[in-house]
Structure formats: C-alpha cells, structure tokens
Structure 1
C-alpha cells in the first residue's frame, strides 16, 4: 500500500513514541485517529482524537465503530510497572499482560474486520528488545512483550489471507517518559524509531529492528541463556 490512501489509528498517541507515529503519518499525508484513554490530552494538530482504552473491550468496540475507515493500525499503547515476577504486585503483573497481550489482541480482533472491509492494509505491533531479553528487574514487562511477540507471529499467519500485513517493531530504550530513569546516552530518538518502523511496515517487512541493541540480541537468540 502507499501512504496516499492511508487512514491510520495510533493507540497511545498522546505522548512518547505514539505521538511520533501520529506526527510521521500526518507528514506522509495520512488521515490519523489518535487514540488515548483521555483524548483531551492529545495536542497534535491535524489528528482526530478518539477515546480508547485498549484494556476495555467496550472502548475498543466503540473506537472501531468511530474509525470505520481505518486501513492501518499502530498498536503502540503500553505500560511499564517495573514489577518483578516473584515479589512484584500481582495487579501490576496482570496490568502488563492485560495491556501488552490482551489489549493488543482486543485491538486486532476489533480492527481486522475494519481493515479487511476497507480493502486490506497493515497492523504494526510495538514490541521490545525485552521480547527476547528477560532481565529479572523487568520480569512482568518482558513476559508480556514475549507474549506479544508470539501473538504477532500467529496473527501474521492468520491475517495474511485476508489482505492484512502484520509487522513487529523491536527496540530498546527510547527517549520517552516511560524510561526517564535510563541515562540519555543509552536511549534513541523516538522520532527516528517511528520513521524506521513505518518505512518497514509500508515496505512489507515482517520485523523491524530499530537499534543496535535489538539487532545484537536477536542475533544471539540461539546462544546459551547464560
């Protein structure tokens, strides 16, 4: 598909990487629905704000009805509780899985029929290097992103016959509020990541590795877990 006929939904578009996705899509000439739990926090001129809580199936259903002309979905909305698996609050661990796995699945199940009715298109799931690298200090987040990786691969196969391309973005630390505790020299520019991801998605790539950390970790997946 070309960017000339794109109508996109970006989840979690009120800040961070999601806002960069929305801005980049606008620059490419797309119509953009910017989803957020509180749409009044969306301040990007040119987008269509839309109320969307991906963990609430009713909210997702309403968004699919409102954004019925969509042919591209960027599943960006996320959360990071930094919960460990043994000692972290179970509510935080559940929130990670409800957001990164079930929330993403909610959006895919609601919008796949929309994209198909509109002649096909693309889904981009924002994953992480922690889909593959699982430090104990981010156990809940890593487990949820690993589940998201499996979800992405399975739905790619399931949706291909329906004219829907599914792409995955893997990236390490970005200069966003979510990882404000990470030193700046260890983070990449989210605007650069958004451009790489969209270029890859529109080119039909199944997987976009947006930084050296992700590329190095992916290359070592066959190595010993040590």
Structure 2
C-alpha cells in the first residue's frame, strides 16, 4: 500500500523564504505542497510549476491574499471540494508586509493598519480557516514566520527601529502562543528564520541603513524553518535527551558542550578523570572517577541516550574500546566515536594513514553490541585549529609558509565551531520519522560529512596575508611534495615520534586524490541547515589568536 501523503500549506509561496520552504517539502516523496499566493497569474506564481518534486509529490495552487479576510476560507473550501484535501499536516503563515521602517514617532497610521491586516489579521484568518483540517492530522503544526524586530524582551538589541512592523509581528506572536496552549493536539510557534536576502529583507536593510545585503539566502533561511519543523515533528519521547561527553574540556569537547547547552531539551554530562582540574558550566553533570574501572564507566553511562567520544592523540590506545564496552553494558543507544577527521570509509586513505584505518575496529565493536549504533563525524582537519597551529603549512607569526605540491588543490576542511553546531543540530532530530523528514536513524552506522570551506593552500595564504596586512614579498616560502611529507612522517612515526602521525595526516590532506576531499560522499551542511561561514572573518580571528598565542610563549 502506498504511504499516505503529507500535506503542507505555505502562504507567500511564490518567492523568497516561502518558495524555499515549499521547495524543501515538494522535494520529498509522497507530499502535497499547497502554494498559497496573492496573484495566481503573476509570473513568480506560474513558475512554481517548475519546482523539482519527489516521487509521488504534487503541487496545488490556491489564492490567499493575507489582506483579505475571506481568501483563506475560500481556499480551504476549494481544497476540500476540488482537491479532496481533508487534513493539513503543516501550515506555514509566511506572507508578510513591511512598509514602515522608522521609529514609532514617525510611523504612519495607514501603514500600520496595512501591516496589521497582512501580518496579524491575515495569519489569524488563516489559522481559523485551516483549524479543522489541521486537527484531523496526526501531528499538526502551525508556524508563523516572525522577525527579531518583534521581540519585546530584546527590543533594546534590535539593530533597526521598524517600530510599526515589529509591533504587528509581535501581535501575531502573542496569538500564536495562545493558539498553542488552547489546542492540545496542535504545536504552534513563531520563528525568526534569519535576515534573508529577499526583496523584503534587502529593502528593509536598505531603508534602515544596513551595510551590504542581508547575510543569508532565502534557501538557507527556509532550510532552518524546515529543520525547526522537523524537530517538532515527533512526540518528545522520540528524541534523545541525555548526552554524555568524554573529552568535554578539550578544544572540540568544550564547544560541543556550549552548543548542546543552547538546546534546552538536552541534559549534558561530562566524564572526567578523578584527578582532573577541568571545570564545566553549572548545567553540566560531572562524573569523576577512574577510567580503568569498568564499574565506574558503566555507572556513569547508565541512562544516557548518546555517548560522544572527543579526545586527542595522547590517550591510552585501549581507552576508547573500554568506554565503548561500558556503553554496551549500559545500553547507550547512540555512540559518536572519536572520528572527527578524514573519511573513514576511504580505503585508500585508511591504508596510507593507518591511524584513521585503526578507527574501524571501534565502529565494528559498536556494531557488535546489540543495543548500540554509531554515527561518525567526518570533518577533515579542523580549519581554524590547523591554520592557527601552523599544521596547514602556514606559520602566521613567523610569516613562513610550506606549500605542498603547487598549493592549488582544493581541500575540504571544517571549523571546530561548525562541527559542534552540526552535532547539536543532528542530535536535535527525531530518532525516527514517518514523514520522510530527516531523522537520527537516517545516519545509523554511517558517516555525516561536513565542510566549512573547499579551499586551496594558496587561497589560505592569500587570506592570511589580507588579514595580517602583509604582502607576498613579506613571506618566506618553501615548497615540498605532499608525498615526501607523508614519507617523512611515516619514518618519524616508526620511531615513536607522534609528530610523524600529524605529518602523515596533513600530507594526506593536501595530496590530490587521497584525503583532500570526501570523494563520492554528500556534504550534509544543507540537510542540517548549517550556516555558511565567512572565510575572511574566520581567518581574521585565527590571525589574532595566533598572534596572541605567540605573545604568551
């Protein structure tokens, strides 16, 4: 029997964020996307027929002008009679109007009335018209696309005045909250999708004197809205809640803690040695004990939904196996092992960089445990850490660079902050999904591939020179073959020199066709709705930190 189609209605669906949300849903299989637009004959509305659709998915067009008190009811009647639609799973009130960008003193009452009709009366009429169809869905959602300018609690931090516009959005925020509490079955919430580079966003920024266009594309903002809806798509018990981290005070671990704490759903714990002087935020439960004690490890891991292993090179070789074994006895369902590097599924890379290949035994160990599964996070060397420490061949304080091969090969690299954001978003997904939306089980015993930048070493050097205000002539340049660097590292590693392992890692990263990219793998940034990072800003920060680090030595 064919799976039941899910039905999503989006207003303002012919452009900007609304179009992006509609496209996200229509790309799924067995989906009905209802595009509500003000003018069915507008070219932007007609162009919706060209949106890519998943197998079995269909597009329905209806007219809803949010300024009209009757359009929503007429559209719902049409859905019932002409399209046999008798339930709506998600309704997105996206259509909006912004004409008054100044402070309250300068606000026009006529403009305020126009915006109230579109930004508050319209979404309210939409909810009232769709309420019966929403309540026939198993897990109905009503979402209102709002703005940070509507926040009363953070009003003093608003970057622009927009008094009238913010007030009309705030009015609907209140109503949406009431809707949520007045309807037991329905999840209703307002969401600020980000400052999007849409017609409305760009004009608003221009009117308010913003420097440059809005930062985010409409597609990115739409992705965040859909991710938020995915997070609320299942009952609360279908999510992971209790997360424990080994290595929570390290470079990656500390940022994982910070990002996970931003999700109020999670209970975060840290596993720490009994003699460690590491400190953690007050919301983190700390389990201190002897890592060699299987009783301690199992006790600390009892009741945990996720174990994250995030430690560096300088740990006993058998420690990860001991922790995984304890997780198996404690029946921890999800384990993120200590990967955080190259593609562990790249056999050629694993053969050259044996330390990466050795990680396979931990994944196999987890697979052998009846109640456990793993998710690997493939990042390639961390961009900010590797650039600051000089491992990318660029010594910022000394203005020296070692260029591998010709320095033009593009490599995949990820910042630590992007890695930690990705993990927080990943673990916010429902464990299972019956709707085709992303869920944690999609990644069971698989890798999640991340990327901040696809960048050459020459481009890195140019960005550093720009950030430091230096010229190419100010730098001492050495050239080296990546193959020679790998061989050099191999010889050092054979003598027990840990630096040799690092050289092999970075030599493989810069060697074309080896560890430079995630060949044949999908980068998951878009699926996880991760923000695009600004290379210039990241490099400027790294350059400052490298200078400060030198000053402390």
- The answer to whether TM tops 0.5 is yes
Question: 1:167-189 CA distances to partner (integer Å, 9 max, x unpaired)?
Answer: 32113420101122355554212
Partner residue of 1:76?
94
**What secondary structure, in the 3-state scheme, does the structure 2 residue paired with 1:40 have?**
coil
Partner residue of 1:90?
109
Partner residue of 1:216?
none
* 1:92-111 superposed matches below 5 A: 92-111=111-130
- Separation in 2 of the partners of 1:28 and 1:40? 26
* 1:151-190 superposed matches below 5 A: 151-159=175-183, 161=184, 163-180=185-202, 181=206, 182-184=210-212, 186-190=214-218
**Structure-2-length-normalised TM-score:** 0.35
2:7–2:90 contact (8 Å) kept in structure 1: yes
Partner residue of 1:26?
26
- Separation in 2 of the partners of 1:81 and 1:211? 30
**What secondary structure, in the 3-state scheme, does the structure 2 residue paired with 1:123 have?**
strand
- Separation in 1 of the partners of 2:137 and 2:194? 33
**What secondary structure, in the 3-state scheme, does the structure 1 residue paired with 2:162 have?**
helix
Relative distance call for 1:185 and 1:80 in structure 2 (3 A) is closer
Partner residue of 1:196?
224
Which protein is bigger by CA-based radius of gyration? 2
- Separation in 1 of the partners of 2:181 and 2:200? 31
1:13–1:22 contact (8 Å) kept in structure 2: yes
Match of residue 172, structure 2, among 138, 145, 148: 148
RMSD: 2.5
- Separation in 2 of the partners of 1:17 and 1:99? 16
Deviation at 1:86, TM superposition (A): 2.3
Deviation at 1:47, TM superposition (A): 2.5
Deviation at 1:88, TM superposition (A): 2.8
* 1:41-56 superposed matches below 5 A: 41=42, 42=45, 43-45=47-49, 47-56=59-68
**What secondary structure, in the 3-state scheme, does the structure 1 residue paired with 2:161 have?**
helix
User: Unpaired segments of 5 or more residues in structure 2?
Assistant: 50-57, 234-262, 264-528, 532-553
Question: 1:27-77 CA distances to partner (integer Å, 9 max, x unpaired)?
Answer: 123211111110122111252221111221221111111234222111000
1:11–1:18 contact (8 Å) kept in structure 2: yes
**What secondary structure, in the 3-state scheme, does the structure 2 residue paired with 1:86 have?**
helix
**What secondary structure, in the 3-state scheme, does the structure 2 residue paired with 1:31 have?**
strand
**What secondary structure, in the 3-state scheme, does the structure 1 residue paired with 2:105 have?**
coil
Match of residue 126, structure 1, among 134, 145, 160: 145
Relative distance call for 1:157 and 1:185 in structure 2 (3 A) is same
Matched pairs, number:
205
Higher relative contact order (CA 8 A, sep 6+): 1
**What secondary structure, in the 3-state scheme, does the structure 2 residue paired with 1:130 have?**
helix
Relative distance call for 1:13 and 1:183 in structure 2 (3 A) is farther
User: Unpaired segments of 5 or more residues in structure 1?
Assistant: 213-226
**What secondary structure, in the 3-state scheme, does the structure 2 residue paired with 1:67 have?**
helix
- Separation in 1 of the partners of 2:100 and 2:74? 31
2:72 equivalent to 1:60: yes
Q: Which has the higher helix share?
A: 1
**What secondary structure, in the 3-state scheme, does the structure 2 residue paired with 1:10 have?**
strand
Partner residue of 2:40?
39
Deviation at 1:137, TM superposition (A): 3.3
- Separation in 2 of the partners of 1:137 and 1:203? 32
2:193–2:224 contact (8 Å) kept in structure 1: no
2:180–2:189 contact (8 Å) kept in structure 1: yes
- Separation in 2 of the partners of 1:136 and 1:126? 18
